[in-house]
Structure 1
Amino acid sequence: MRENTNEQYGLTQAQRRIWFMEIMNPGTSITMLSATYQITGEINIQLLEQAAAEIVKTYDVFRIRISGDLQNPTQWFEEPENVQARISRLEIGTTEQFYAWVKEVSEKPASVFDEHLYQFTIIHFANGQVWLNLTVNHIIADGLSVNALLHAVMEKYLELRKGISSSYQAPSYLDYISAEREYEQSQRYQKGKEYWLTKYNTLPETTGIKSYPPFSIGSESNKLAITLDGSRYERILAFSEQYQVSLYTLFLSAMYALLYKLTDSTDVPVGTVFANRTSKKEKETIGMFVSTVATRIRLNPDGHVLSLIQTVSKENTADLRYQKYPYNQLIQDLREQHGRNDLSGLFRTSLEYLPLKIVEYEEIKVRLEAHFARHEMDDLLLRFDHMLNEGHVILHASYRTGLFETAEIDRIMEQYVTVLDQFLQTPELPVREISLLSDEERHRILNVF
């Protein structure tokens, strides 16, 4: 669809969530995404810069501008001829200096109303190595889009290096704006509303590990990470294959069990994100699509681990079918249904699972690394980066520093791994009998103390 550049368009539901994040946390970096392609192999910097410039011309999200105010935001598309690609070069000595730079960039306060909502940076190290960073406002791109854009730059780079001239008419984000308007008038929208209102016909009493007055805790956050590798990683893969369960379902099930043990509640919803791309065209479109989903099960403490996993898998399949219904609209619906104007959310803990791999572009190898912006909407986010080529999973825990101490999160991560180990070792174990004490801790308590 050819847009009228003088026309103002409403934000999509996914974009409105980012806009709401900014309302709640002004003057922070909470709406920013930053990721780097760590490139191994000889790179022509001039061609790489040219490739990035071509990609900026190809996708219209780089022309999106946000107007209005925090009460009534709209978006419009800049004329292509008025857009100059934002690509800079950074000469740097070491990786330590790079991480100091990217920390500063990722944590720089930003606004959805900024004139420039993205920046490509080509990092040239003293040893000749070249990396490519993209920092972008979440309101014009999600994590999947960031990876796709970096990948597109590398593909274009190879074409330029070979002297290949090709033109690609990328799908427009404007088409998605139009498609969402149609969806909101459809029966699918009504069925989604019915599904989620039925699922939350009662509200959960517990939404997170700790309780506190709404909006009393800031978004300032920190992050810890541990690696699940070696024999534990092999057991995870073997369990997944034996019981035909995805790693996402396995990790989410273990999180439900952990929350049950920490809160003594059998009903603690967990936030997840789905791609929200339901057609081939949408999967090829760059932009902000991802949907927030409040997954919910009623955990049976007397049921065994495999039963819990099966329940989570079944609920996940149903949630996936209705993922498009907007979470922010659901909150408004539930306020009306339950007469709860103070309802601000359904969960305070979230989980993400990201399968990642080293990509080879002929003799060039590329590894994606996402960077931390030091702000978090949830109390606790567990993100699992599955490094497919490298044989391990990196578990990241992002947490609000106004709510948790580092030692608390360190212990929660240890407890999560302990729960996961029991899943793998004794799948017939009743959930009630799961222990948060590792064998090492139990030995220390019984025999040392």
Structure 2
Amino acid sequence: MSFRKNHIEELLEELRENKIHISLGDDVLKLKFNGTKPAPVLIEKLKAHKQELLGFLKDKENNQIAKVEISDTGYPLSSSQFRLWIISQIEKYSISYNMPFQIVLEEEINASLLEKSISSVIKRHESLRTVFKKNEEGEIQQWIITPEALNFELNVIDVSLKEDAETLANKTIKEDYYVPFDLENGPLIRCMLLKINEKKWLFYFNMHHIISDGWSIHIFSRDIMQFYKSYAEGKTPVLPELSIQYKDYAKWQRIQLKTAENKKDKAFWETIFSDEIPVLELPSHQARPNARTNNGHLLRMYLPESETKNINTYISGKGGTLFMFLIASLNTLLYRYSGSDDIILGTPVAGREHLALENQIGFYVNTLAIRTKMNAAMSFNALYNQTKQHILEVYAHQKYPFDQLIDDLKIKTSINRNPLFDVLVILQNFTNSKNTEEFKVKNIGAVESYGAVASKFDLTFCFAEIGGLLSIDLNYNTDIYNDDTMRELLLNYRKLVQQATNSEALNIQDFTISLEVIKEETVSTTDKKEYDDFLEKINNEMSDDF
């Protein structure tokens, strides 16, 4: 039996879910992983298809990213950067793309060495020294600031002598979450070191998404710690040289848009969205705002170990991955809520298929729009198999920039919705190294509140399998949905998963859910006319630039 491309994609998806990275090294397949070693069955799959994977990686390696010539008039933006720059022209939206992160350090920290380490990472990665402004021709460009001009300083705050020091430190950090960045003048990164006591510090940083992504946060943290360790030991830091910088990738991406392979990707996506684009309407007590807002709230629920095992047993029996099950089950839930048999869900992918991007900091993440057409009489099994096949096809065409797709489809921008979809689904690839006893969770199966957060979409589902439990975070926009409705939605999702794994032949129309909280019809809204000129300007700029 031949190892067809969709089989490669299925194996790569399994590696992604297990947080395993493969690369090429002198005709050898190299593995990188965090935490526990890959399962023996997965190692056997890699051995069985080693030659096919080597060929796959060699094809990707041959497409080199060239360095661009140094310019004093700026550099082009990537497609994703350009759209984010457009969104960020509306000040209240820019806060949504702040990326705050904090690390607890349980050891004595030398603040001056940490500042030196961060400065070294900023010098290493040009993206951390990038600002965005127009050139003399009025074109938006990215500009690289020298380390000297940036003059980075670490904000060191000692709260160790204060009453309830840790609460005060977290309050200080939370206040920075919502401070907007100045894309034109920068810097687009802020760092704080807060001293709780001699043996406990909080290292906090916040970056704008236009220069970073989730993968980049890991690279940033890792590089800092490598520099810090070397400086603390009095050694000269030695990190592998970066072959390219983000500006090189942005130029390379534009070239890729003209290749034959890219034309195939474009044709695939245009076929998927060739007919009328569905709009998901979920029941709500609140009228949708006239313009998008970023006011969100985070709820969390853990599925018990037995129910998580049932999901994995179902997947093992049917083939596929956890992500495929999540998409199929969420579509079933949203179908039961809305009655819509045509649903689009968004999901982010790393966007780092090229080997040169593995250790880069920058906005590489791409978004995939997964469209599912269902019928009421199909079984969950049928929906799962359909979802599995479609996701494999989607992954085979994942390099095509989502932002370019939006331009290709010429979707009329609506100021109170996101383009193509309003529900985002994320599967975090955490290492599942803890058992249930080590990973202690109170109130398993209950829905708990984790407070106010920024919200980019109507709903964002974030899943992670950790400690034998499936964690489900739901970030919902509080200007569209209320707390009771969203708590009920999560509990209904748990009930639906139970039915899917216990009665897999059940038709999706026959899944039972409770809608006690929903008493009123969904309220529709209309766009504000005063934004029309601005939106037309945005659409024109996008058409002209790409």
The aligned amino acid for 1:298 is K
Contact 2:299 2:475 in 1 (8 A): yes
**Aligned counterpart in structure 1 of residue 481 of structure 2, from 395, 404, 415:** 404
Equivalent position amino acid for 2:428 in 1? L
Match of 1:377 in 2: 456
- Give the aligned partner of residue 90 of structure 1: 157
**Take 1:143 and 1:122, find their aligned partners in 2: how far apart are those partners?**
21
SS at match of 1:427: coil
Return 5+ residue gaps in structure 1 as ranges. Answer: 360-370, 442-449
Distance in 1 between the 2:217 and 2:498 partners?
A: 33
Aligned to 1:36: 102
Give the direction of change, closer, same or farther, for the CA distance of 1:86–1:384 in structure 2 (3 Å limit). Answer: farther
Residue 418 of structure 1: CA displacement? 1.6
Partner of 1:345: 419
Aligned to 2:86: 20
Instruction: Name the structure 2 match of 1:205.
Output: 278
In structure 1, distance between residues paired with 2:402 and 2:264: 14
The aligned residue for residue 169 of structure 1 is: 241
Q: Deviations over 1:96-147 (max 9, x none)?
A: 3333222211122334224210012223212621232220011100111112
Distance 1:239 1:42 in 2: 47
Please, which moves more after superposition, 182-191 or 224-233?
A: 224-233
Q: 1:181 aligns with which of 248, 254, 268?
A: 254
Which whole-Å CA distance do the structure 1 matches of 2:352 and 2:324 have between them? 20
CA shift for structure 1 position 73:
2.4
| Counterpart in the other structure of 1:58 | 124
Report the counterpart of residue 315 of structure 1 in structure 2.
390
Cα distance per residue 1:169-213 (max 9 Å; x no partner)? 223112201211211221222222211110011123333425977
Does the CA contact (< 8 Å) of 1:30 and 1:373 recur in 2? no
Deviation (angstroms), 1:355 = 1.6
Q: Aligned partners of 1:280, 1:423: CA distance in 2, in Å?
A: 39
* TM-aligned CA distance change 1:239 to 1:131, over 3 Å: farther
Percent sequence identity is: 20
Shift of 1:85: 2.7
Instruction: Give the number of aligned pairs.
Output: 422
Q: Which amino acid aligns with 1:99?
A: N
Which aligned pairs between 1:140-179 and structure 2 lie closer than 5 A? 140-165=211-236, 166-170=238-242, 171-179=244-252
Alignment of 1:208-247 (within 5 A): 208-209=281-282, 215-247=290-322
Task: Quote how far apart the aligned CAs of 1:29 are.
Answer: 1.0
1:447 alignment partner in structure 2: none
1:427 is the counterpart of 2:504: yes
The amino acid that maps onto 2:249 is Y
Residues 200-229 of structure 1: CA deviation (Å, up to 9, x unaligned): 111233334259778534232222222234
Distance 1:349 1:341 in 2: 17
Offset of residue 235 of structure 1: 3.2
SS of the aligned residue for 2:375 comes to: coil
For residues 400 and 352 of structure 1, what CA distance do their matches in structure 2 show?
A: 17
Counterpart-to-counterpart distance in 1, 2:99 and 2:191: 12
The corresponding residue for 1:418 is: 495
What is the RMSD computed on CA atoms of the aligned residues? 2.9
Q: Give the direction of change, closer, same or farther, for the CA distance of 1:28–1:65 in structure 2 (3 Å limit).
A: closer
Change (3 A) 1:15 1:234: same
Aligned to 2:178: 107
Q: In 1, distance between residues paired with 2:465 and 2:224?
A: 23
Give the partner amino acid of 1:269. Answer: I
Q: Distance in 2 between matches of 1:2 and 1:198?
A: 34
Q: Which moved more, 1:46-55 or 1:347-356?
A: 46-55
Q: Name the amino acid aligned to 2:463.
A: F
One-letter amino acid matched to 1:73? I
Residue 294 and residue 210 in structure 1: after superposition, are their counterparts in 2 closer, same or farther (change >3 A)? farther
Cα gap change, 1:195 to 1:86, in 2 (>3 Å): farther
TM-fit CA distance, 1:382: 1.0
Q: 1-side partners of 2:68 and 2:408: how far apart?
A: 34
Deviation at 1:149, TM superposition (A): 0.9
Please say if residues 208 and 349 of structure 1, whose CA atoms lie closer than 8 Å, have aligned partners that are also in contact. Answer: no
TM-score when normalising by structure 2 = 0.70
- 1:226, 1:394 within 8 Å by CA — same for their partners in 2? yes
Q: Which range is displaced more, 316-325 or 108-117?
A: 108-117
In structure 2, the residue matched to 1:278 is: 353
CA positional deviation for 1:78: 1.4
- Distance in 2 of aligned mates of 1:414 and 1:107: 31
Residue 7 (structure 1) shift: 2.8
SS at match of 2:373: coil
2:16 counterpart residue number: none
Distance 2:456 2:359 in 1: 28
Pair 1:86–1:140, CA change in 2 (3 A): farther
In structure 2, the residue matched to 1:295 is 370
Q: 1:132 is matched with which residue?
A: 203
Q: Deviations over 1:51-71 (max 9, x none)?
A: 2222122111112111129x8
Q: Could you tell me how far apart the structure 2 residues matched to 1:48 and 1:430 are?
A: 57
Deviation at 1:329, TM superposition (A): 2.6
User: Superposed, which structure 2 residues align to 1:70-81 within 5 Å?
Assistant: 72-81=139-148
Q: Is the 8 A contact 1:86 1:118 kept in 2?
A: no
Offset at 1:158?
2.9
Gaps of 5+ in 2: 1-66, 434-449, 517-546
Query: Is residue 2:428 matched to residue 1:354?
Result: yes
For residue 372 of structure 1, report the CA deviation from its aligned partner: 9.0
Change in Cα spacing, 1:205 to 1:174, as seen in structure 2 (3 Å) is closer
C-alpha change, 1:226 and 1:72, in structure 2 (3 Å) is farther
| TM-score, with structure 1 as normaliser | 0.85
CA distance in 2, matches of 1:168, 1:105: 33
